[in-house]
Amino acid sequence: MLNLEKLEEVTVEFGKAHIAPYTESIDKEARFPKEAYDALRNQGYMGLLVPKEYGGSGGNCQHHAKVCFHLARFDASSALCYMMHNTATACLSLFGSDRQKSQFLPQIAKGEAAFALAYSESGSGTHFGLPDITEQEVDEYRILNGRKSFVTSAQHADYYLTYSNSCKVSGGKNNWIVPNNSDGLLHEEGVWNGLGMRGNFSKPVQYNNVKLNTQTSLLGKDGEGEAQAGIVAMYFVVGLGAVYSGVGRAAYECAIHHVKTRKYTDGSSLADKELVRNHIANLYTKTQSQIALVNEAARAFDNKEADAVSKIFACRINATTLVMEITELAMRLGGGKAYSKQLPLERYSRDALASQVMAPSLDILQVWLADALLPKE
């Protein structure tokens, strides 16, 4: 169980000890951040959103945002994989049956179970209303067939929260708790080679006649998956805003250290130049704007405020827009050292680029925000 009062301080120390030593190799080798993930399991982070009665820390969306932000300062991929686990855990905590909660939540709290999201599909992206994967009812079982295009943490998470079309409720959707070793699951190898976010270990997963017991594997009630997906979207979008805010903060910290230590022959530093000082002020302002809006969106969600959804969409739009500006300016300040990979700024820039296309994309989010602010009659 985590100490929520000291969560940020403890998470920064966690990042220094269990993520930072491996970040470079994760990026170079495009490998899963196993060291970080194992430590997250062992030190109680997997149970952040598990209610206390099931052995967890009883955290909320604000705690979720804070941890994702600080983890991303050390490695964006580690933060993203963890964020998706939290999102699935929140959905299970809210919608799972008593039997499911009793079975899975204590395992999650102990670090014995980790979750991934199996939502993205080639035909519909993460459009939550249009999954292609199908169900067929056979006695007390459902048979799932289809293909998920990007499952982050594939094979390293123990269960996949899988979104499908209900075969029983017309127009209804379902979420399924699918063990990663289920018969009929096929993980396509050699697919993920991202420009940035190279440790995500995202890969397509085929569902070939995957047989699931309806009583134990169907999350909540048949056909209510769309409502569940709404909660998934909130934790997911806040988490993405936090992750890219963490990348922006890391780029700022690298840039300010560089300008302080980059010396000229006369003993002065880059930090003595007025233009550079103005650039640093600009970077600082943008990084503060990023995380401030993320924290405000999470707070509004936890308090069930009327404009929480709008703030959540806005926080992701803001974080995405600003992380691109922050990393570009930081690269300019880093100069040749940044471009020649003597500084991690080029990695931050590559990681930031994912924010433009990672679903829901920036363009889709702007449409969603406009619809939230101006509902069509």
Q: Which CATH class is domain 117-225?
A: mainly beta
Tokens of 9: 């301080």
As a CATH number, domain 4-114 is: 1.10.540.10
**Which pTM was predicted?**
0.96
Strands of 134-138's sheet, edge to edge?
A: 134-138, 141-151, 203-213, 185-187
Angle separating helix axes 308-339 and 274-302, nearest 10 degrees: 150
How far CA 98 is from CA of 17, 54, 102, 114, in Å, comes to 37, 11, 6, 19
Helices vs strands, H then E, count in the chain: 12, 7
DSSP 33: -
- Long-range contact set of residues 271-280: C-beta below 8 Å, sequence gap at least 24: 276/333, 279/329, 279/332, 279/333, 280/255, 280/256, 280/333
Residues in the chain: 377
**261-269: average pLDDT:** 95
Collapsed DSSP state (helix, strand, coil) of residue 264:
coil
Listed by start position, the domains of the chain span: 4-114, 117-225, 227-373
At residue 128, the pLDDT reads 57
Local confidence band at 76 (pLDDT 50, 70, 90 cut-offs):
very high
DSSP 6: G
- Rounded Cα gap, residues 72 and 85, in angstroms: 15
* Chain segment 340-367, per-residue pLDDT in tens: 999 999 999 999 999 988 888 888 899 9
DSSP 185: E
* Chain segment 172-206, per-residue pLDDT in tens: 999 999 999 999 999 998 778 899 999 998 999 99
Superfamily of domain 227-373: Butyryl-CoA Dehydrogenase, subunit A, domain 3 (1.20.140.10)
Average pLDDT, the chain: 95
Cβ pair 71, 78 in contact under 8 A = yes
At residue 48, the pLDDT reads 98
Local confidence band at 124 (pLDDT 50, 70, 90 cut-offs):
low
How far CA 230 is from CA of 100, 186, 226, 292, 372, in Å, comes to 20, 28, 6, 23, 14
Per the DSSP assignment, residues forming a β-bridge with 141 are: 138, 213
Tokens of 114: 């980790």
DSSP 361: P
Domains 4-114 and 117-225 share a fold: no
State yes or no: pLDDT of 71 exceeds 80.
yes
* Chain segment 296-314, per-residue pLDDT in tens: 999 999 999 999 999 999 9
Angle separating helix axes 61-72 and 225-261, nearest 10 degrees: 40
* Chain segment 4-39, per-residue pLDDT in tens: 999 999 999 999 999 999 999 999 999 999 999 999
